[in-house]
Amino acid sequence: MKKALEFLRQLNENNTREWFAAHKSEYDAIVKENKAFFTQIYHELQEHDQLKGIHIFRIYRDVRFSKDQTPYKTNFGAGYSRAKPMLRGGYYIQLEPGNSFVGGGFWGPDAKDLLRIRKEFEISSTEIEKIISDKTFIKYFGELKGDSVKTAPRGFDKNHPAIDLIRKKQFLVMRKFTDKEVLSDSFQKEALLTLLAMRPFFDYMSEVLTTDMNGEPLF
């Protein structure tokens, strides 16, 4: 982790193809170590969940439609997807100097899933509120995060008691880690415990998204 964070610090200050090419061998060695770390987390998480796969993100940026033309990301990240269609939600780990975190959730639910979630909250928000107010959830994540629409979605009452939840268009959780915590011997254990702390939230959302409004299974 020390080598990875230091490489990213230098890359942030020298984000050019020329600098990267001169340090390619160093990068390749770090990628190999990162892969071992992310893969170990995958196997440990797989013992507690059913995962569909692991995706280790490339460091190369797609700059075709971006104002920011720097060629490389300044973080290393990996995502772990659950076995759809019955299990929903995705896990994510990011390593970046001053901005490392373990998180997950529902980044961009499609229109059908988003409507189903909102309808569930409209009928009753008791279960989701119980989950996000649980002491373990608060310890790891603080609160449920994610972007929201500015007003009540079409067809929903702006005065509904759960309107703050209904307005959400993303449902995310995140626990940040300092550089010191990332470099500690306990980081891998803490990362796994953080991922496992998402399960009550994921399991509830999976139940919602695999049933209709009458609670009948869709699959």
State the chain's mean pLDDT as an integer: 97
Q: Which pLDDT belongs to residue 65?
A: 86
Contact 58/76 with Cβ under 8 angstroms?
no
- The 10 Å Cβ neighbour count of residue 139 is 11
How much is the pLDDT for 210?
97
pLDDT > 90? residue 66: no
Tokens, residue 205: 């959302």
Average pLDDT over residues 25-51: 97
Question: If you average pLDDT over residues 165-177, what whole number do you get?
Answer: 98
Per-residue pLDDT at 177: 98
Q: Is-cis flag, bond preceding 85, omega within 30?
A: yes
Q: What is the pLDDT of residue 49?
A: 97
Tell me the pairing of strands 76-82 and 51-56.
Answer: antiparallel
pLDDT at 96: 98
The percentage of residues in the chain with a pLDDT greater than 90, rounded to a whole number, is: 96
Overall average pLDDT of the 39-49 stretch: 97
For residues 30-49, average pLDDT = 97
Phi-psi region of 215 (alpha: psi -120 to 50; beta: other; left: phi over 0): left
**46: closest CA among 87, 85, 1?**
87
Q: What is the arithmetic mean of pLDDT over 162-167?
A: 98
Confidence of residue 22 (pLDDT cuts 50, 70, 90): very high
Distance CA(45)–CA(41), nearest Å, equals: 6
The amino acid sitting at 82 is R
pTM above 0.75, yes or no: yes
Cα separation, 194 vs 104, in Å, equals 10
Quick one: pLDDT band at residue 63, thresholds 50, 70, 90? confident
Q: Which residue in this structure is represented by tokens 């989701």?
A: 128
